[in-house]
Homo-oligomer: A and B are copies of this chain.
């Protein structure tokens, strides 16, 4: 069996991801771990400390694909690999997307610092990640963050909206086939963008 602190983090992840920060009680988490609430304080100072530790652990894990990408050439094949890794990671563990979405909707402690850890490397490399391959965007560099957020939304909201999409997709969004279709769709959108030359227009 895993050590108690890790089991507490696992349970916290699932419950915070389902209910959001405000609606989660430490009692719920203790119950799920099978310990008494006071024992929880032997490992985490309070609800906020547990929330931050739990999110920190997830952010480290979800930052790996981008770190891997930025350690080498940002060429097309490696961008597609990064996207695939990200989709697969979110399918394996839908909790990060859910936790961030809850925090965006209803707030959560220290959320600015957490966003910074996760999104800043993405934002700082937006030109690098999207730009050079897309002629149209070379002329509209101000749109780069919007395009990057668009792809981020495609990946993360597939996870957070999954219960609503089950019927429309006709299958479990997290099934092997569902995940493969999601990866293929993102690849096609990406390659389409790379191939695109916007027709010249009068300056507007």
Contacts and interface: CB of A to CB of B under 8 A. Distances in A.
Interface of A: 17-20, 22-23, 98, 100-106, 111-112, 115-116, 119-120, 122-123, 136-137, 140, 142-143, 145-150, 153-154, 156-158, 160-165, 167-170, 181-182, 184-186, 188-189, 191-193, 195-196, 198
Given A185-B146, A196-B195, A20 B165 contact: no
Contacts of A18: 105-106
Contacts of A157: 153, 156-157, 160
Contacts of A143: 181, 184-185, 188
Nearest to A143: B185
B105 A20 contact: yes
A172 to B, nearest CB: 13
Nearest 4 A-B pairs (CB), nearest first? A192-B196, A153-B157, A146-B185, A157-B157
13 contacts: A18-B105, A20-B106, A104-B164, A116-B167, A146-B169, A147-B185, A149-B161, A150-B154, A153-B158, A157-B157, A188-B196, A188-B198, A196-B196
